[in-house]
Structure 1
């Protein structure tokens, strides 16, 4: 009953790029692509993405031509190859956070930098995915300049998609932290929590938490639900996943079967947790709460359960 398929792709998925991992170590290919006037660059400035049309409610990603990106590339920040478009155009990303004000680095009228999360639901899926890729990769690059094994400086490899230690030679690759996110179902009710991270919000959302070493995804679902609410979980059904580079996670979505109903919240994690009926979920404002944002996998888990539930 809980095995409900995803109704549509999640935000930040559906990249239009071929990541060409088999060509990243071809120095001649990478150098030619970086010098090609037709290549495009997605700049990142202090975790923000370059966009235009935000103020009018019609945001779109801004990719700079090689010429337009000259000043951005000169900031000396890390760069990486994201991949190739269908027409063969190479797309790179560069971090220009060293600049106090990035706008003078851009040609006039090229947009401004914004938090991707604020507009992802309005962007075409491919653009949101590409900008999320750039943001996540640059976050890793700027925070892994030194080897975690011996502490020596690292140098970029594989067109910026790996780091090699100059001391011990250890190879380091981009890190993505797996996190489970789950909608716990008790027949015609679902369990939602009000996080301590949103004290001034009325939002109730699905429970979530990071996977621990040596733990299966199903075990992580059961542990997190019990730790945060005291509710026991039985069967766990995979729904979908969503890249979440804020800063470096992937959300693995599940529906989960409740085996108990009594709630005992962990006050360090939640301010409140409650069972909500289908009618309350359909009319959250009248019930005095709000649902997660529309581009989140949390909202998709709730909506797909509601759509799959009896009318």
Structure 2
């Protein structure tokens, strides 16, 4: 039986490599200076895609490392939304939202989404792309002051937006979500299919943390609401940034106090308890498909299982 107290190691997207150097962001000339320096490395984001160099397959059948294409700055980058990402090895990195390039990348196989390549990205590349995507998603949807409606302006090297009318500052949001392996007294795992899942996809339960709520309380509430099961012994497993558009996934295990399922009809389409043999058989016959290796949900399931699972991957939404 796997160690329930173990922290999940090496979660995709979770390894911080860049030194974010928050102390430099207040310099109003930082981005202008960096984007005029040919040594600066620029990650250009077009919609939700970045240019990458795929690693292909290694001789042992595993995926090789994928690298993001970091270019030198161009004069056009000064007219785009710039995001100071930080430094690594004496090199400065800047994310640039280059949505004006959309037409020129259509059909180009070198441009990929984070969902497509995140599981095989090198650590620095993943950190840069996750940060750029999360900030870009926030900037695209928070263009006006929530107090007075005035269009806001990016400041602090892209890390906040400021209202020119009332001088209020507005910070990027991160929505915390709990995701949990619920296990019963017989060490069976609870998997469910949400209303929005594709095909035969099933996963562990998850939900957003509400205002004024602790993480353990959120786990217990979400499980009780979605499947009618009370839980105890909520234990932290690990966390993963999930910029789709702006979440932080916080992984846990929890022990079920009962096993009768009462599904929340508007949220959950199906749910059932699995032994390890049950899950292996369901994956083999295709009656169940689980999330891809990018997602913490897959790692939580494999943590309970005790090792990697051989399964086609549910497309990440």
Q: TM-score higher than 0.5 here?
A: yes
Measure the CA separation in 1 of the matches of 2:56 and 2:114. 14
1:251/1:61 Cα in 2 relative to 1: closer, same or farther (>3 Å)? same
Aligned pairs for 1:44-63 (under 5 A) are 44-53=45-54, 59-63=66-70
Give the structure 1 partner of residue 146 of structure 2. Answer: 148
Q: Which of 268, 271, 274 is the equivalent residue of 1:270? A: 268
TM superposition shift of 1:226: 1.1
Structure 1 unaligned spans of 5+? 105-109
TM superposition shift of 1:29: 4.3
Give the structure 2 partner of residue 300 of structure 1. Answer: 299
Measure the CA separation in 2 of the matches of 1:70 and 1:11. 34
Give the structure 2 partner of residue 27 of structure 1. Answer: 28
Give secondary structure in 2 for the equivalent of 1:266: coil
Give secondary structure in 2 for the equivalent of 1:247: coil
TM-score between both structures, scaled by the size of structure 1: 0.88
Aligned pairs for 1:281-300 (under 5 A) are 281-286=279-284, 288-300=287-299
Give the structure 2 partner of residue 15 of structure 1. Answer: 16
TM superposition shift of 1:173: 0.9
TM superposition shift of 1:285: 2.2
TM superposition shift of 1:175: 0.7
Indicate if the aligned counterparts of 2:31 and 2:82 stay in contact, CA closer than 8 A.
Answer: no
Indicate if the aligned counterparts of 1:222 and 1:232 stay in contact, CA closer than 8 A.
Answer: yes
TM superposition shift of 1:60: 2.1
Measure the CA separation in 1 of the matches of 2:157 and 2:172. 13
Deviations 1:124-172 (A, max 9, x none): 2332222111111111112222111111121221111111111111111
Give the structure 2 partner of residue 213 of structure 1. Answer: 211
Q: Does 1:172 align with 2:170?
A: yes
Q: Does 1:101 align with 2:103?
A: yes
Give the structure 1 partner of residue 314 of structure 2. Answer: none
Of 188-197 and 2-11, the range deviating more from structure 2: 2-11
Give secondary structure in 2 for the equivalent of 1:250: strand
Give the structure 2 partner of residue 244 of structure 1. Answer: 242
TM superposition shift of 1:98: 3.2
TM superposition shift of 1:290: 2.1
Structure 2 unaligned spans of 5+? 58-62, 308-317
TM superposition shift of 1:8: 1.6
Measure the CA separation in 1 of the matches of 2:56 and 2:148. 47
Measure the CA separation in 2 of the matches of 1:43 and 1:273. 41
Measure the CA separation in 2 of the matches of 1:113 and 1:268. 36
Give secondary structure in 2 for the equivalent of 1:181: strand
Indicate if the aligned counterparts of 2:18 and 2:127 stay in contact, CA closer than 8 A.
Answer: no
Deviations 1:45-84 (A, max 9, x none): 1122222337887532111112xx444x26x431110111
1:170/1:163 Cα in 2 relative to 1: closer, same or farther (>3 Å)? same
TM-score between both structures, scaled by the size of structure 2: 0.87
Deviations 1:84-135 (A, max 9, x none): 112x21111111113441449xxxxx97322210121122233222211111
Deviations 1:256-292 (A, max 9, x none): 1101100111222121000000222344423631222
TM superposition shift of 1:244: 0.1
Q: Does 1:194 align with 2:193?
A: yes
1:2/1:257 Cα in 2 relative to 1: closer, same or farther (>3 Å)? farther
Aligned length: 297
Q: Does 1:83 align with 2:86?
A: yes
Indicate if the aligned counterparts of 2:8 and 2:237 stay in contact, CA closer than 8 A.
Answer: no
Measure the CA separation in 2 of the matches of 1:158 and 1:304. 40
Give the structure 2 partner of residue 107 of structure 1. Answer: none
Indicate if the aligned counterparts of 2:203 and 2:297 stay in contact, CA closer than 8 A.
Answer: yes
Indicate if the aligned counterparts of 1:79 and 1:138 stay in contact, CA closer than 8 A.
Answer: no
